[in-house]
Amino acid sequence: MKIKHLFLAVVAIAFIAAASFNASVNAEEAKDGKTIFTEQKCDMCHSINSLGIASKKKSGAIDLSNASVEGNAEFFAKYLKKETDLKGKKHPAQFKGSDEELNIISEWLTTLKTE
């Protein structure tokens, strides 16, 4: 009987550990565009005034408040990978994050809109 209890306790602990591991993996996936924007140092050159995100650049930062007008998520993903250009120019910085992060930030850019 005691051994059975011990076994159940071990199973329960393993279950809890697995569940919390899953939760942390999900937290990783749930990163939002804004987080990736700062993690990938987009704020070295850009601000997003409409969201109150300041640029680290002292002057001449390019504001992305209305970035959605430039294209859809597919376009942004390519543009940030320097696979396509905008107004005849490639983006100066190559995206360094994962594909997952690229997708999230590209979707997120399509939501940046000033009325």
Decide if 41 contacts 96 (C-beta within 8 A).
no
Residue from 47, 80, 104, 110 in contact with ligand HEC (CB under 6 A):
80
Residue type (1 letter), 108: W
Residue from 35, 53, 65, 70 in contact with ligand HEC (CB under 6 A):
70
Closest CB to ligand HEC: residue number: 42
Does residue 104 interact with ligand HEC by CB under 6 A? no
CA–CA distance, 109 with 103 (Å, rounded to integer): 10
Sign of the torsion formed by the C-alpha atoms of 38, 43, 47 and 52: positive
Cβ neighbour number for residue 11 with a 10 Å cutoff: 10
Q: Which x/- pattern, by CB under 6 A, does the window 14-43 give for ligand HEC?
A: --------------------------xxx-
Q: How far is the CB of 100 from ligand HEC (least distance, A)?
A: 14
CA–CA distance, 90 with 42 (Å, rounded to integer): 15
Which residues lie near ligand HEC (CB under 6 A)? 40-42, 44-46, 62, 64, 67, 70, 76, 80, 86-87, 89, 91-93, 95, 105, 109
